[in-house]
């Protein structure tokens, strides 16, 4: 793992993959350009070449700063809004070790913030956070839109629909990009064409139970 200011892991990786990590100063300067969105808990971010998470961890930091400020007095409210913050962060990374490291960094950072706020933490809650990161940080190629296994990249949308219940809907990255490219002509499209096509819709469940969507998940 590179140190805080180290921008490469090895010369070989730079030559083979063009792997150079963005320094913290540049990350913060770029995020400052969209400061309001970074501080909107539900605002979704996708980093198509997320590396080990330099951008995503700073986005999460900014979102959790807002959660701490507004919701720290009631643990249930903090947990709900912090869940929403994590669920809104997405990444694609070509190299498996980087993808795994990104998930681990985000989880460890989240855990440190959670423990800093509350003496008693919930393992069920943390299991849901780990599940979100497994689903939202994908090992794949954002250029070919395929995972490392050669399947279409699929992102899950997580939406609170009733109290503590979350609805999961899945979309291919390709359909999301196509939808975005049509923004200038949306007024010409039928209602069905304005939205990307779902490839999966799951029953609404309590946000502590989302890991049941995948029975193989620990």
pLDDT score at 173? 94
pLDDT score at 162? 87
Mean pLDDT of 137-166: 95
Judge whether 141 lies within some domain: yes
Judge whether 81 lies within some domain: yes
Contact 79, 132 (CB under 8 A): no
* DSSP run (H or E) holding 62: helix 54-71
**Count of the separate structural domains present in the chain:** 1
pLDDT in tens, 4-27: 455 555 566 445 445 455 677 888
Assess whether pLDDT exceeds 70 at residue 159: yes
pLDDT score at 26? 84
Assess whether pLDDT exceeds 60 at residue 153: yes
Assess whether pLDDT exceeds 60 at residue 124: yes
Beta bridge partners of 168: 158
Mean pLDDT of 108-112: 98
Mean pLDDT of 110-118: 98
Assess whether pLDDT exceeds 70 at residue 199: yes
Judge whether 44 lies within some domain: yes
pLDDT score at 193? 52
Assess whether pLDDT exceeds 50 at residue 218: no
pLDDT score at 188? 42
In the predicted model, what is the mean pLDDT of the chain? 85
Assess whether pLDDT exceeds 90 at residue 130: yes
Judge whether 196 lies within some domain: yes
pLDDT score at 186? 34
Rounded distance between C-alpha atoms, residue 60 and residue 112, angstroms: 12
Judge whether 36 lies within some domain: yes
pLDDT score at 163? 87
Using CB atoms within 10 Å of the CB of residue 135, give its burial: 0 to 12 exposed, 13 to 18 middle, 19+ buried.
buried
Judge whether 57 lies within some domain: yes
Judge whether 16 lies within some domain: no
Predicted TM-score (pTM) of this structure? 0.84
Rounded distance between C-alpha atoms, residue 204 and residue 91, angstroms: 24
Both structure tokens of 58? 């700073």
Mean pLDDT of 46-74: 95
Contact 60, 110 (CB under 8 A): yes
pLDDT score at 106? 98
Q: Which of 65-69, 114-118, 163-167, 178-182 has the lowest mean pLDDT?
A: 178-182
pLDDT score at 27? 83
Judge whether 54 lies within some domain: yes
Assess whether pLDDT exceeds 80 at residue 54: yes
Assess whether pLDDT exceeds 70 at residue 189: no
Domain region containing 33: 22-213
């Amino acid at each position: 793992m590179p140190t805080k200011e180290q921008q490469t892991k090895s010369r070989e990786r730079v030559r083979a993959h063009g792997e150079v990590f963005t320094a913290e100063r540049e990350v913060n300067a770029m995020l400052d350009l969209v400061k309001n969105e970074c501080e909107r808990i539900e605002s979704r971010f996708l980093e198509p070449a997320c590396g080990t998470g330099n951008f995503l961890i700073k986005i999460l930091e900014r979102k959790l700063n807002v959660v701490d400020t507004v919701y720290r007095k009631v643990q249930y409210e903090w947990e709900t809004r912090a869940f929403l913050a994590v669920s809104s962060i997405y990444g694609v990374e070509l190299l498996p070790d980087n993808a795994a490291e990104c998930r681990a960094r985000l989880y460890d950072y989240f855990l440190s913030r959670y423990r800093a706020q509350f003496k008693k933490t919930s393992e069920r809650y943390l299991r849901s956070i780990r599940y979100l990161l497994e689903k939202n940080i994908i090992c794949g190629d954002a250029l070919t839109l395929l995972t490392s296994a050669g399947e279409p990249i699929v992102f899950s949308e997580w939406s609170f629909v009733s109290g503590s219940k979350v609805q999961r809907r899945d979309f291919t990255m390709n359909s999301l990009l196509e939808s975005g490219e049509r923004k200038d002509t949306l007024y010409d499209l039928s209602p069905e064409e304005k939205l990307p096509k779902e490839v999966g819709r799951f029953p609404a469940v309590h946000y502590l139970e989302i890991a049941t969507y995948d029975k193989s998940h620990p």
